[in-house]
Each structure stands twice: as C-alpha cells, then as structure tokens.
Amino acid sequence: MVIAHFNGKLVIQLELIMSQFFYVHPDNPQGRLMKQAAAIISQGGVIVYPTDSGYALGCHIGDKKALERICNIRDINKEHNFTLMCSDLSELSEYTRVDNSAFRLLKNNTPGPYTFIFKGSKEVPKRLLNPKRKTIGIRVPDNAIAQALLAELGEPIMSTTLIMPGADTAEFDPEHIRDILEHQVDLIINGGHLGERPTTVIDFSNDDVEIIRVGEGDPTPFQ
C-alpha cells in the first residue's frame, strides 16, 4: 500500500503483486533460474513449483507472513497438515521423531509421491505443526526441478499441494495457474503439465503405521 498526497488530497494506492514466470527445463533445470527462485523464497516470497504429484505452493520455513498468504490462497486454517519438502532423508531427524524401522521404510520408498506424517521436533515452528497432534508432513519429491530448488536453498521448503478452494485435485497446468494466481504469488515455475493426483499419505505418528490417503504413490510397502 502506498499513501501519498495529490492536490491536497490523500491518495491511497494498492500495489498489486505481479508474479515472475520461469520456464524451467523439467529434466535439466537452469541453475540461474534456481538461484533466483531460492532468493525469492529466502526473501519472504510465495512460489508455485512443480513436484511429482502436481504443483505446490511453497515458502520459507520460518516466514509467518508468507505462510498466511498461502493459507489465504488455499482457504485453509492452522488445523491443516503442512509439509516440509526435503531434498533427502538427511534432515529427517532434525525435524521429526523417527525410529529405525520407519527410517528404513522411508529410505526404500523415497524419493517419491508420498507424504509422511511424524511427530514434529522442537526445530519445527509451532505454527507449522498440527495444533492438536503436534505433527508435520515430510516429503522427498521425485522431481528434478524441486530437487534443484531444494539444493540451491539448502533447507526444506514449507509446502502444501496447490489445490484451489472447492477443488479435489492438484493444479497441473502452469498457464492456468498463471491466470488465477499471478497477482497472489511472487513466482510461478513452469515445469510443464503434471499429473493431478495428490500424494499418498502415510501416518507414522502413532504406534501403528496408517495409510491416510491413497494417491500417486503405491501404498503396498506400508500395508
């Protein structure tokens, strides 16, 4: 918002966000664009980026305002299960409480289109944890662009699948995403058309492993 005086009158102008739009090669992401995307996240931006199960919204793990913007876009509240998008399992013990048997299962099935629910550690900002269960989702995506972005950023991305209010499936067409969100996010990464099935969700937060949702990932290893 800009407040100025013009001919003795108070004028208030609302500044509209205009997204940057990167065309990124799906197999060999351009390093220059990945550096710019990581900088946008680090500076508090909200981005749309490709994963192995449709497009996702992402922001810096510690940025409260960016998280609020994502909640507004998706029309979700603090009860929602947010996810940390990780490059591999090396960060798992920092953000979750995981035992050896669960770690072996994840190691054999990542990267891939799964979301794993764990009890969160003290390293996870409280606003990202499910307020009742104190859980957080963990993902290791099988997508070259997402992996290149995570490598450039050097830490997990706070993430949630881009499912618009009233929809049941993830957004998969970057040009359509541009039409509906170019004034609400700072960057849209076009990695081509993707599948629209969400991840398979596996809950490790209780004594028994529970399959919460069957999606793109094969649930068989967790049954």
pLDDT of residue 1: 44
Residue 11 has pLDDT above 90, yes or no: no
pLDDT, one tens digit per residue, over 117-155 is 999 999 998 889 988 899 999 999 999 999 999 999 999
Q: Rounded to an integer, what distance in angstroms lies between the CA atom of residue 91 and that of residue 22?
A: 28
What value does the mean pLDDT take over residues 43-68?
A: 96
CATH number for the domain formed by residue range(s) 17-222: 3.90.870.10
DSSP 178: H
pLDDT winner (highest mean) among 28-32, 77-81, 88-92, 212-216:
28-32
**Taking the domains of the chain in order of start, what are their residue ranges?**
17-222
Q: Rounded to an integer, what distance in angstroms lies between the CA atom of residue 6 and that of residue 11?
A: 7
Instruction: For residue 193, give both structure tokens.
Output: 């058309």
Strand partners, 22: 189
Q: Rounded to an integer, what distance in angstroms lies between the CA atom of residue 89 and that of residue 184?
A: 32
